[in-house]
Structure 1
Amino acid sequence: MKMIDIRYGRERISLEIPDAFEVIAAGPESEPLSDHRIGELIDKPIGTAMLEEIVSPGETVLFVVPDATRASGAGQIINLLVRRLIANGTMPYDIAAIFATGIHRPVTESEKAEILTPFIAQRIKTLDHGSRDLMRIVNVGELSDGTPVELNRALLEFDRVVTIGSVGFHYFAGFTGGRKLICPGLASNRTITATHRLAFDFERQTRAEGVAPGNLEGNPVHQAFAEAASKVKVDLSVSTIVNGRGEVTGLFCGDLFGAHIAACENYAATHTVATERQYENVVVSCGGSPFDINIIQAHKSLEAASRACKPGGRIYFVAECGDGLGRPDLLKWFEASDSRELADNLANGYQVNGQTAWSLLSIAERFDVRIVTSLPDDAVGKMRLRKIPVETFQSEVRDLSEGCVIPAGAGILVRLRS
């Protein structure tokens, strides 16, 4: 037997696993970048001028940063950039940060300090985005398919816009970060719904062609997000790669699209793991907070586990979900008798998180999913998952003969080697 610690929220669970168990991970965590090294990388932007050359004294600057569901290292980056701006003649009252929440809940005051650091949160203006706040939404054009592109008007009210976000795998957009900070991050509910809808093939009742984690080419969702983001001017973009502790280990700066693509290529090269076979038993942790902050975020790790598990196999899903479901209306989708009926309901009245529910239910139908979580029993049962206490989880895994452990499901792409 061997011991492994896996993350659960902000805590760890010690797990004794059989010697035959394999650990599927991206490799040793990279060391965090120093402020000096980050400064060097910021001084070598891809396809743009340097920050100090872009922003003139007297101009207003808007930083676009992720919400609490994303670990991005934004605090370290924005501290360095704000100090540079002030040294270059920009006044603190001309600088603001807006949180790209999309349809997520608003960011709390304590989360703002955690994301930006207390030093920055107390010294610059912070703005909240509301996807249904029509007073703050403005139409900036249309996509090629006629979809209206409605974004937060702050993107037009500031002289300069700088985005900061991390890159990781996304189960239907291919990768997080980059263009997603603009759309869906600062988009209206209507634009978010229309672009997310492209992920689903309603006729075949499955994912649309090209929609997959780690894939941008021919991915209709990525293409729509990128086209929407191109409707506004982003002057500088910082795409980070973070380790399991949320520390910046890689950084790509410059053009919104160029820096993002470079970061995605680097991330995919270091976080894609090929396996010779699928396993009868798979243990997956999301990697702790914020990756298991709610079930909507956590289920992305369940997607990773499903790629490593044999059909009909068992998945132990470790996801605290301290913030609950993520959306109060998520459970209504599970009133469907099965995933086919849920897909029909999606076709008749599409909503973004209905697709998350379909993904969850589809996996629950194909595998025996046992979840270690703080979610209420009735909610877990409605999602067709089986809730087990930590002690039962530890005991059952100890008695298994074969399987694998994925310690950080949110940060890995499992590919079956052909």
Structure 2
Amino acid sequence: MKKILLPYGQTKLELNLPEERIAGILESHAHEFKAEKSESELVRDALENPVDSPRLKDLVVGKKNIVLIASDHTRPVPSKVILPEIMKEIEAGNPDATLTILIATGFHRLTTRDELISKFGEEMVDHPKIKYVVHDSGNEDELTYVGLLPSGGKLIVNKLAVEADLLISEGFIEPHFFAGFSGGRKSVLPGVCSRTTVLANHCSKFIADPNSRAGSLDDNLMHKDMLWAAEAVNLQFICNVLLDADKKVIAAYAGHLNNAHRKGCAFMNELAGVKAIPSDIAITTNGGAPLDQNIYQSVKGMTAAEATCNPGGVIIMASSCNDGHGGESFYRVFADEPDNQKIMDQFLATPQEETIPDQWESQILCRLLLKFKIIMVTDAPEQMIRDMHMDYAHSLDEAIAMADEYLGKKDSKITVIPDGIAVIVNPAD
């Protein structure tokens, strides 16, 4: 038997499999990469040696309205490491400067004070020179129109970002299941945009495009919109990090919005790219907390399994989902319509300007449901899982037994993906 530990919430689940059943284990090399410097040193080095940009301490000179876009509670960005180093740079160039941190909630729920403290630390949350504002994509009083995206959608952005005399951002770079990679331009779109803008960018046409996949940027229509938006509001400087399985910084890139991001993406592509190992059963996760806090986010990890599971096979998703489904409209799509094909047909017939909230996640989940049986090992309510057309298991062993019964044999090969959001699964040779 081989023991494999799978991240699950704040803990790990133990998966024990007979060696002969394991087709392969797909892991990012980021989990093996060992940085030669501490997390803070890596961030500091990046800030001191920015890519195609002046140093931040030079950019802040004379600036009175500095805004930092920071990721929200759904992202494992180590802001406790990044923010102190950014503040040192700001204070070195402009000792009297104050900083507004705009929390990029995108289409997510608002971040709470307790979550801010968990993310930034109480000392930084109560810092006298830092003000925190949580972006609300539905509050029109806080938003302003900027222009039309290449796709034709309206770009409407938080006023704080648009009115800043210096706009910067922090974030992390990982494979993203339809934007190619996280980080960089995503801080603006969807991070601090209106619901209208997010819906236009996340339309069914873009989601259905085969280039809207993990690791893809050059021909990705969603990325094109996102980059245009970030340039339109003059996102002038970014600090993005790469993380290992323990959410520790292993590399950092700072400087020019696109060039620094691309450099980080290139390294992530080296670390995260794996070859698919086709099998009838694929077991995956969402990398543990905070990314596995709901079903909505967990769809991301499922797409890694999609890239290696044989059509008609079984995806087993281990995700704590302690926050439930993560979106009422996302949940209702499946709870109110039993026919997956009807759901998909409706999505594909929906014009860009009429995109339904959370449609993108629903569309991707529906795509998976049309190709595979999905079994969830989760803390979410069993009925909720069944309402969303998936099967429920209390344990990994039970899930495998269910998969065996469904497939009609007990020796199907199994591909294991310990962290489904950390890998780019490329086609097998």
One fold, TM greater than 0.5?
A: yes
Map of 1:184 onto structure 2: 190
Greater Cα offset, 301-310 or 20-29: 20-29
Q: Given that residues 18 and 401 in structure 1 are in contact (C-alpha distance below 8 angstroms), is that contact kept between their aligned partners in structure 2? A: no
How far, CA to CA, are the matches of 1:145 and 1:409 in structure 2? 30
Alignment match of 2:155 (pick from 140, 149, 153): 149
* Residues 68 and 29 (structure 1), Cα distance of their counterparts in 2 relative to 1, 3 Å cut: farther
1:77 aligns with 2:88: no
Q: Report the 3-state secondary structure (helix = DSSP H, G, I; strand = E; otherwise coil) of the residue aligned with 1:411.
A: coil
Alignment match of 1:134 (pick from 140, 147, 162): 140
Map of 1:95 onto structure 2: 99
Map of 2:25 onto structure 1: 23
How far, CA to CA, are the matches of 2:68 and 2:17 in structure 1? 45
Map of 2:356 onto structure 1: 351
Q: Given that residues 331 and 383 in structure 1 are in contact (C-alpha distance below 8 angstroms), is that contact kept between their aligned partners in structure 2? A: yes
How far, CA to CA, are the matches of 1:4 and 1:120 in structure 2? 37
Map of 2:303 onto structure 1: 303
Map of 2:222 onto structure 1: 221
Alignment match of 1:174 (pick from 161, 180, 187): 180
Deviation at 1:307, TM superposition (A): 1.1
Map of 2:122 onto structure 1: 118
Q: Given that residues 292 and 321 in structure 1 are in contact (C-alpha distance below 8 angstroms), is that contact kept between their aligned partners in structure 2? A: yes
* Residues 389 and 209 (structure 1), Cα distance of their counterparts in 2 relative to 1, 3 Å cut: closer
Greater Cα offset, 391-400 or 165-174: 391-400
Map of 2:426 onto structure 1: 415
How far, CA to CA, are the matches of 1:209 and 1:319 in structure 2? 26
Map of 1:108 onto structure 2: 112
Aligned letter for 2:82? I
How far, CA to CA, are the matches of 2:235 and 2:412 in structure 1? 53
How far, CA to CA, are the matches of 1:380 and 1:8 in structure 2? 17
Q: Given that residues 275 and 427 in structure 2 are in contact (C-alpha distance below 8 angstroms), is that contact kept between their aligned partners in structure 1? A: yes
1:261 aligns with 2:267: no
1:80-106 deviation line (CA, Å, top 9, x unaligned): 1112322433336x1121111111000
Q: Report the 3-state secondary structure (helix = DSSP H, G, I; strand = E; otherwise coil) of the residue aligned with 1:357.
A: helix
How far, CA to CA, are the matches of 1:414 and 1:147 in structure 2? 31
Q: Report the 3-state secondary structure (helix = DSSP H, G, I; strand = E; otherwise coil) of the residue aligned with 2:358.
A: helix
How far, CA to CA, are the matches of 1:391 and 1:286 in structure 2? 15
1:44 aligns with 2:49: yes
Deviation at 1:189, TM superposition (A): 0.7
1:403 aligns with 2:404: no
How far, CA to CA, are the matches of 2:47 and 2:240 in structure 1? 11
Q: Given that residues 377 and 396 in structure 2 are in contact (C-alpha distance below 8 angstroms), is that contact kept between their aligned partners in structure 1? A: no
Q: Given that residues 59 and 90 in structure 1 are in contact (C-alpha distance below 8 angstroms), is that contact kept between their aligned partners in structure 2? A: no
Aligned letter for 1:403? I
Alignment match of 2:387 (pick from 382, 390, 398): 382
1:97-135 deviation line (CA, Å, top 9, x unaligned): 111111100011111112222221110210010111111
Give the CA RMSD over aligned residues. 2.0
Q: Report the 3-state secondary structure (helix = DSSP H, G, I; strand = E; otherwise coil) of the residue aligned with 1:370.
A: strand
| Unaligned 5+ runs, structure 2 | 405-409
How far, CA to CA, are the matches of 2:6 and 2:395 in structure 1? 12
> Following superposition, which runs of at least 4 residues in structure 1 exceed 6 angstroms of deviation?
none
% same residue: 24
1:148-190 deviation line (CA, Å, top 9, x unaligned): 2110000133321110011111121111111110011000111
Q: Given that residues 166 and 176 in structure 1 are in contact (C-alpha distance below 8 angstroms), is that contact kept between their aligned partners in structure 2? A: yes
Q: Given that residues 58 and 93 in structure 2 are in contact (C-alpha distance below 8 angstroms), is that contact kept between their aligned partners in structure 1? A: no
How far, CA to CA, are the matches of 2:399 and 2:314 in structure 1? 14
1:165 aligns with 2:179: no
Deviation at 1:402, TM superposition (A): 2.6
How far, CA to CA, are the matches of 1:295 and 1:239 in structure 2? 26
1:209-266 deviation line (CA, Å, top 9, x unaligned): 4222110111111111111121111221112111122211111111111111111111
Map of 1:371 onto structure 2: 376
How far, CA to CA, are the matches of 2:63 and 2:15 in structure 1? 56
| Unaligned 5+ runs, structure 1 | none
* Residues 37 and 233 (structure 1), Cα distance of their counterparts in 2 relative to 1, 3 Å cut: same
Aligned letter for 1:263? G
Q: Report the 3-state secondary structure (helix = DSSP H, G, I; strand = E; otherwise coil) of the residue aligned with 2:314.
A: strand
How far, CA to CA, are the matches of 2:191 and 2:215 in structure 1? 19
How far, CA to CA, are the matches of 1:58 and 1:415 in structure 2? 45
How far, CA to CA, are the matches of 2:393 and 2:105 in structure 1? 32
Aligned letter for 1:128? V
Q: Given that residues 339 and 358 in structure 1 are in contact (C-alpha distance below 8 angstroms), is that contact kept between their aligned partners in structure 2? A: no
How many residues align? The count is: 411
Q: Given that residues 42 and 250 in structure 2 are in contact (C-alpha distance below 8 angstroms), is that contact kept between their aligned partners in structure 1? A: no
Q: Report the 3-state secondary structure (helix = DSSP H, G, I; strand = E; otherwise coil) of the residue aligned with 2:33.
A: coil
Map of 1:321 onto structure 2: 321
Deviation at 1:143, TM superposition (A): 2.0
Map of 2:407 onto structure 1: none
Aligned letter for 1:176? S
Q: Report the 3-state secondary structure (helix = DSSP H, G, I; strand = E; otherwise coil) of the residue aligned with 1:106.
A: coil
Aligned letter for 1:414? V
Q: Report the 3-state secondary structure (helix = DSSP H, G, I; strand = E; otherwise coil) of the residue aligned with 1:316.
A: strand
Deviation at 1:7, TM superposition (A): 1.0
How far, CA to CA, are the matches of 2:331 and 2:137 in structure 1? 21
Deviation at 1:208, TM superposition (A): 1.8
